[in-house]
A = this chain, B = another copy of it.
Amino acid sequence: MLEFAILGLLHRSPMHGYELRKQLAEVLGGMRSISYGSLYPALKRMRAAGLISTDEPDPHALLPADAPPLTGRRGKVVYTITAEGKERFHELVGQTGPEAYDDGGLFGVRLAFFRHTASDVRLRILEGRRRTVEQQREGLRSSLARTRERLDHYTLELQRHGLESVDREVRWLSELIDTERREASGTSGAAALPDPPDGDRSNPA
């Protein structure tokens, strides 16, 4: 998830880790932040994988037994996406399997970078997400119906509030889907007919 987000942000322009974190927090809706304890290890992994590169060749290399007053000497590091990273990003952007929408966190990131995503892929992801959330809603509904009278006031309120939130999310997704369908039929018309006979519902891995 972090990998996707970082690639998406660096796709626009190179950045410091610090700036990356701020933009990340903003793009993620502000409520879900990201800590340095996740960010820097992720950057390290991605650098090792060749997806991004740094201007500073290596912050911790080549200092045999130099001047002791050189205690920290921390240099600023600018991260840049590589050609391989861009390739990886566009590969990830094309994914439409359950992993793209089952996890709410990843789904949020996908949504934040939807302008890099083809319209038919967008539609598949939105519909997948709606299916997932609808299933959550049904589980919640039946659970609530089963245990309604055994619950005290606060537990009941918690369940009720949760159910309402999920319900609102389904409606929100439905609006997004409607808009997407309208836009798609207006522009290309091939990828998204208003109502194809059924569609397969399979996930192309």
Residues on A facing B (Cβ under 8 Å)? 26-27, 29-31, 108, 111-112, 114-115, 136, 139-140, 143, 147, 152-155, 157-159, 161-162, 164-166, 168-169, 172, 176, 179
Contacts and interface: CB of A to CB of B under 8 A. Distances in A.
Contact of A140 (B31, B115, B155): B31
Those 6 A-B pairs whose CB atoms lie nearest each other, nearest first = A29-B162, A114-B154, A30-B140, A115-B152, A161-B172, A30-B143
Given A111-B154, A111-B158, A154-B111, A139 B30 contact: yes
Nearest to A104: B31
A158 B164 CA distance: 18
A159 B140 CA distance: 25
22 contacts: A27-B155, A29-B140, A29-B161, A29-B162, A30-B139, A30-B143, A31-B136, A31-B140, A31-B162, A111-B154, A111-B158, A112-B154, A112-B155, A112-B158, A114-B155, A115-B152, A115-B154, A154-B176, A157-B172, A161-B169, A161-B172, A165-B168
Contacts of A143: 26, 30
Contacts of A112: 154-155, 158
Copies of this protein, total: 2
Which of A108, A136, A158 has its CB near the most chain B CB atoms (within 10 A)?
A158
Which of A31, A159, A168 has its CB near the most chain B CB atoms (within 10 A)?
A31
Contacts of A155: 27, 111-112, 114
A107 to B, nearest CB: 10
Contacts of A26: 143, 147
A96 to B, nearest CB: 16
A80 to B, nearest CB: 22
B152 A176 contact: no
Nearest to A147: B26
A165 B169 CA distance: 9
Nearest to A140: B30
